[in-house]
Amino acid sequence: MTVSTNAGRIAFLAAQAKRLYKPFTRADVPPSLLVSAVFVHADPDKPETNGKEISVASPIERIVLKSKPKPDVVIQPSSFETEAVEWANLLGGKVQGNRALAVFSLDEVRSLPAGDFDVVLVTQAGERRCKVGTGDRSRLFQ
């Protein structure tokens, strides 16, 4: 899971282009990245196998930000999209999952109560959480 502001998201897209030996210029920056926002990108790990079973990350249904000091304060994304991911094995079998991108208003994130907050991935199998500590929060969003 990656949490970033516009500059981090642009750097992520530039790195993807570089990996594919494609150019990435100012003209390649989408208009949506010109508005201050917080981006949460969740990408599942490759499925693991122990010889008998395959362990696959549960599909992501939603991403929200939740205050730790005041758990009733939850921020919903202004936009949320998923993309199918598929892995194949040597026997021709396929396993599917998804990755997600949630976009949050920078002003709303800054308005969260002081202290840590959680990035919560809501999946079919339950919730997965990642803490954004006070130090990281001040570096990223202040």
Per-residue model confidence (pLDDT) at position 91: 67
Mean pLDDT to the nearest integer, 116-136: 94
DSSP string, 9-25: HHHHHHHHHHHTT----
Q: What is the pLDDT of residues 51-66, one digit of tens each?
A: 677 778 889 999 999 9
Domain that holds residue 33: 2-45+55-141
Look at residue 79 and tell me if it is in a domain: yes
Give the E-state strand segments of 10-112 in sequence order.
37-42, 48-49, 54-55, 60-67, 74-75, 79-88, 94-105
Cβ-count burial 15-54 (b if 16+ within 10 Å, e if not): eeeeeeeeebeeeeeeeebeeebbbbbbebeeeeeeeeee
Look at residue 130 and tell me if it is in a domain: yes
Look at residue 50 and tell me if it is in a domain: no
Look at residue 22 and tell me if it is in a domain: yes
Look at residue 14 and tell me if it is in a domain: yes
Domain total of the chain: 1
Q: What is the pLDDT of residues 83-115, one digit of tens each?
A: 999 887 766 778 888 999 999 999 999 999 999
Look at residue 75 and tell me if it is in a domain: yes
> What's the whole-model pTM score?
0.84
